[in-house]
Amino acid sequence: MGERIDATAVAPSALGVAERIQARRPQMSSAMAKIAALLLEQPTAPLELSITELAARAGTSPATVTRFCRLIGYSGYVPLRVGVAADVGRGDVHASWHTDIGRAFDPEDSSRDVLHALLHAHTRSVQATASSVDLEQMDRIATAVAGCRHLDIYGIGGSGFMADELQSRLYRIGINVHAWSEVHSGLASASIQDESSVAIGISNTGRTRETIQMLSQANSSGAYTVALTNSPDSPLAAVAHDHVVAAAPEEYLQPDDLSAKHSQLFLLDLLYLLVAQRDFARTTTKLAASAMAVLPHRTSLRSRPRRTATAPATATDTASERPESEPHV
């Protein structure tokens, strides 16, 4: 098939990624040639993209990316990323730092400088998100969620945590909701949705293939679909009825930085509150019921004896601070 590697002909470790690619181009299939062209044009792409994202950008599959890595002398995608990082580091150690951490920070910055730069980046991302929110659109989405038969939320990796967070909040106020971070289960759920369902796909880049597949399946099943990404031109936005943008500061190169997560949480919090408003009676009843259910597992502050700075804790003090549900041993 032209992809078998001759162990004696593998490029020496001293060769950079670009040199390895050029040496093996004659042996590459058309799918591998697309990966080669992408990496020669964007040498640091493996540092910024997962294997799934890089495969999608090159128009091929993760399995082909893995075979490509082996053809040019790496055992897999992670060693390829190490090779790319080493190439960047040989050229400029600061360029390597900026690729991994972001342009807003320098390795010589003081802790105060890092704090101020970080606060500025996070504040800007939330402000930019708020300034671009289409409130009519958010009202439309909230109304659909509040009245739907079932809500699916799809997210992979870090976006899966966002999906779980929204599920937890909405479930407590009476929404029949499931979050899916595993594509097979997500596709199965998406396939049985209908016109009375809503599906939300979360992906910062909007290029995560599994999330695109799940949201696309929900769309085909008749559900009202919503994409949450940082780009209105993303593939995920293309398969959704509505698209909500969570801004990320340009200083960051990593697609999964926490400032992007804060922007996503800001929008999810807004959606949760708007949904909660749609049926105030149901919301308050459900929240009161769940609060009462967990109350026995919270330690009362009023019964705790106050300690002075010089008074050590006694055995009685320690015992009195145990939750009521915890047995004394």
- Residue 150 pairs in a beta bridge with 197
**Whether the Cβ atoms of residue 206 and residue 237 lie closer than 8 Å to each other:** yes
Please, which pLDDT band fits residue 38 given cuts at 50, 70 and 90? very high
Highest mean pLDDT among 59-68, 241-250, 320-329: 59-68
Q: Is the pLDDT of residue 159 over 70?
A: yes
Highest mean pLDDT among 101-105, 127-131, 203-207, 269-273: 269-273
The confidence score (pLDDT) of residue 262 equals: 84
Residues 118-141 pLDDT 10s: 787 778 788 888 888 999 999 999
Q: Which of 70-84, 235-249, 301-315 has the lowest mean pLDDT?
A: 301-315
Mean pLDDT of 18-27: 84
Q: Which CATH class is domain 133-290?
A: alpha beta
Q: Is the pLDDT of residue 307 over 90?
A: no
For the question of whether the overall pTM of this predicted structure is more than 0.85, the answer is no
For the chain, the domains span: 7-100, 133-290
Mean pLDDT of 138-157: 97
**Residues of the chain by 3-state class (helix, strand, coil), percent to 5:** 60, 10, 35
The confidence score (pLDDT) of residue 12 equals: 40
**Whether the Cβ atoms of residue 102 and residue 252 lie closer than 8 Å to each other:** yes
Sole residue written with tokens 């509150």: 273
3 state DSSP class of 243: strand
φ and ψ at 300, to 5 degrees?
-75, 130
Between vectors from CA 255 to CA 154 and to CA 214, what angle results, nearest 5°? 20
| pLDDT, greater one: 176 or 263 | 176
Percent with pLDDT over 70 in the chain: 77
**Whether the Cβ atoms of residue 206 and residue 227 lie closer than 8 Å to each other:** yes
Q: Is the pLDDT of residue 89 over 80?
A: no
CA atoms in the 13 A half-sphere facing the CB of 171: 11
Q: Per CATH, which fold does 7-100 belong to?
A: Arc Repressor Mutant, subunit A (1.10.10)
What string of DSSP letters covers 97-158? HHHHT-TT--TT--HHHHHHHHHHHHHHHHHHHHHT--HHHHHHHHHHHHH-SEEEEEE-TH
Burial of 179 (0-12, 13-18, 19+ CB in 10 A): buried
The confidence score (pLDDT) of residue 56 equals: 94
